[in-house]
Structure 1
């Protein structure tokens, strides 16, 4: 295989590329996901304000991993890194950061942090795979030049993509709509008629706030189609007459569905059982606020949907496809201070807060039993089990608590409401690098 990049075409450097750098490139492809996580952890440490939620982390991870795999491919082939083109996840991220009003300087800082992480990893692998000092020096110089050439090309193309997207965004109706939404949510826009004109969406109606998101980037590199489809299906299910959508990045979208008449409990029940995914596309999760009217309702239902999304994200694998604020309002209030919530739940529940399915089933049975005012018959009906099963589980839960459930009932009920969020409350912080 001939080397295309001029600095590696000399016989001595070509041998180092073939015997040292090319095997390292193959190794990089196998550890790209782990290396991307380390790089993004470093980014989150340096620029935490750019990662407000899991979707921003996921889209950055996808972009960094795609970039690492591309770099490994270029190095393995001996290709000229200056001729690379950005992969789809990186182009999607470039669009996302413009829509999130992230400065280009911050984007370039992310690239430099990734470059630093790659250089350290490559240098470490060079040191580990060759003992000859002269060969090591040539490999370090050649690898460094390759990394810098690749990073320069990547940053140039990212800057071009950013500028093209920003120009299109700033001149589009979407940007004007985004600015209007921001002013409404901030409380600066108080005129419903003017807001309706700016949004091209009637504000003086009844609304349901929606946030749809995906946890990972699909193969196509763009999750917005699936998010839009799920929101549209939800709107049809509740007989909404109009939809206002507002992307929050490449993996999340806010929306409002509205109609002239008030939404009823029957309308919301039409969304089906919480485990019924017929209104939600695979890989998509949805959070809903409660219905509200006019500007104040528009604002409030969105914030409720945001809280529902936050709680759903803490529930992790146990969450439903669709989360309503009404169902998690206590958990939303109780988890505003994460450390305080964690201490409260573990203190009140003790062994009943253990992270295994059997104990969790006992706790959830107890929660329903308390919610049904100590009625084992009504609890059994809700849980679709025999009343004796409810009695057995409640007795087991009481044994784990080490006290009667008739004492400190309010604290117990609140702790049980917060219990599903425990996985998120105890989730480890980003790795220190």
Structure 2
């Protein structure tokens, strides 16, 4: 008889319907088989694992009873994501499904045997074959997937090392075969490039995946081909985006990074050609220096276009701190009140000294903007327009470098 034979379908539905009536017990049986085979799988998430297994058993029984299309239950997807965050290897997850499948099929065979007249020798034989095949698959899949993961990890490490070596040679300006390098990298130099340096502060195993997601999202905005991505270590990555025409806007950068808030990005400006490839990377590296100097209070995104003059101050932070204090006076004291005054003063200078434009940009009443500017001048001890360029640069340094250039409040 073929699987679509009505008699077979009737038997399958009868077995599935009977098991659905015992769903909690069936799910618990399958869960116990998985936990017995892989004791560490549940960990502190036994309740979540139980929910995932229960939903999976219910889903497969529904497929058998109703002849519906198979879909992965949300709880099962959440289990997989949680195991990934815990660093559980894929082979363990695959084995859990193998063990669960074997136990589930055994329960199906038991139910079928109970519904069959006679000695049930055919069912017993089928059960023995399923058990043997499942045991074989469980053993072989574990070995094969482990070999795959080991080889792939080694291959990725080796390839990353080769890419990093080639990239460093290009960045140093070494005499290299450009055509051969482009083929190795899968990336052309004869276009506009926007470089990024990305990093994370944690040491989770999925750091590279998170950074790559940000690069892919930015690449979608840039829209001129695939990016070049070079992992440097477990928590740092270089990337270049081929850009069509203009620099990525701040809101585009924010959208890309928002989905991965743990990723910090420093961004160069788009520059054309091989020298542009190098120059944009130098800019991104300088922007990263600003972010690192700011410490934990840094921005998530640091575009070089916003911090170009600040990056030079980072080469001597002690001198920069003294200069900021001399330029801003008591406005350089670290406090929430002064932070608001500095931001208002900076926007005031950037808008050409317009109270109206300042109020509009900061969503303030014009009188409030005027009041804050006056208080900023009182804290400084002189008008903002005195030494205007120095004041604007010092205020920018306070915005981006935070406590690295601010004075602590008096005790």
Alignment correspondent of 2:326: 347
Whether contact under 8 Å (1:234, 1:279) holds in the other structure is no
Shift of 1:173: 3.2
Alignment correspondent of 1:285: 264
1:252 aligns with 2:236: yes
How far apart in 1 are the matches of 2:241 and 2:231?
15
Alignment correspondent of 1:174: 160
Q: Which of residues 283, 286, 309 in structure 2 aligns to 1:330? A: 309
Query: For residues 299 and 168 of structure 1, do their structure 2 counterparts lie closer, same or farther at Cα, with a shift above 3 Å needed?
Result: same
Q: Deviations over 1:392-432 (max 9, x none)?
A: 1100000001112221222211111111314235799xxxx
Name the SS for the 2:251 alignment partner. Answer: coil
For the pair shown, the structure with the greater C-alpha radius of gyration is 2
Note the 1:214-293 alignment, pairs <5 A. 214-218=200-204, 221-259=205-243, 262-265=244-247, 268-269=248-249, 272=251, 276=255, 280-293=259-272
Shift of 1:275: 5.5
Q: With the length of structure 1 as denominator, give the TM-score of the two structures.
A: 0.55
Query: For residues 177 and 335 of structure 1, do their structure 2 counterparts lie closer, same or farther at Cα, with a shift above 3 Å needed?
Result: same
How far apart in 1 are the matches of 2:281 and 2:178?
16
Cα RMSD over matched residues?
2.9
Alignment correspondent of 1:193: 179
Note the 1:379-390 alignment, pairs <5 A. 379-390=358-369
Query: For residues 426 and 345 of structure 1, do their structure 2 counterparts lie closer, same or farther at Cα, with a shift above 3 Å needed?
Result: closer
How far apart in 1 are the matches of 2:269 and 2:198?
15
Name the SS for the 2:315 alignment partner. Answer: coil
Unaligned runs of 5+ in 1: 1-86, 89-163, 429-433
Q: With the length of structure 2 as denominator, give the TM-score of the two structures.
A: 0.58
How far apart in 2 are the matches of 1:424 and 1:349?
15
Note the 1:311-330 alignment, pairs <5 A. 311-330=290-309
How far apart in 2 are the matches of 1:306 and 1:324?
10
Shift of 1:317: 4.8
Alignment correspondent of 1:310: 289
Shift of 1:374: 0.6
Q: Which 4+ residue blocks in structure 1 deviate beyond 4 angstroms?
A: 167-171, 273-280, 425-428
Whether contact under 8 Å (2:211, 2:237) holds in the other structure is yes
How far apart in 2 are the matches of 1:374 and 1:178?
48
Whether contact under 8 Å (1:190, 1:295) holds in the other structure is no
How far apart in 1 are the matches of 2:364 and 2:175?
51
Query: How many equivalent pairs are there?
Result: 260
Alignment correspondent of 1:204: 190
Whether contact under 8 Å (1:206, 1:258) holds in the other structure is yes
Note the 1:24-423 alignment, pairs <5 A. 168=154, 172-189=158-175, 192-218=178-204, 221-259=205-243, 262-265=244-247, 268-269=248-249, 272=251, 276=255, 280-420=259-399, 421-423=401-403
Shift of 1:362: 0.2
How far apart in 1 are the matches of 2:286 and 2:407?
18
Query: For residues 257 and 350 of structure 1, do their structure 2 counterparts lie closer, same or farther at Cα, with a shift above 3 Å needed?
Result: same
Query: For residues 363 and 411 of structure 1, do their structure 2 counterparts lie closer, same or farther at Cα, with a shift above 3 Å needed?
Result: same
Query: For residues 384 and 227 of structure 1, do their structure 2 counterparts lie closer, same or farther at Cα, with a shift above 3 Å needed?
Result: same
Shift of 1:237: 2.0
Shift of 1:198: 3.4
How far apart in 1 are the matches of 2:196 and 2:280?
8
How far apart in 1 are the matches of 2:407 and 2:160?
36
Whether contact under 8 Å (2:332, 2:398) holds in the other structure is yes
How far apart in 2 are the matches of 1:241 and 1:273?
17
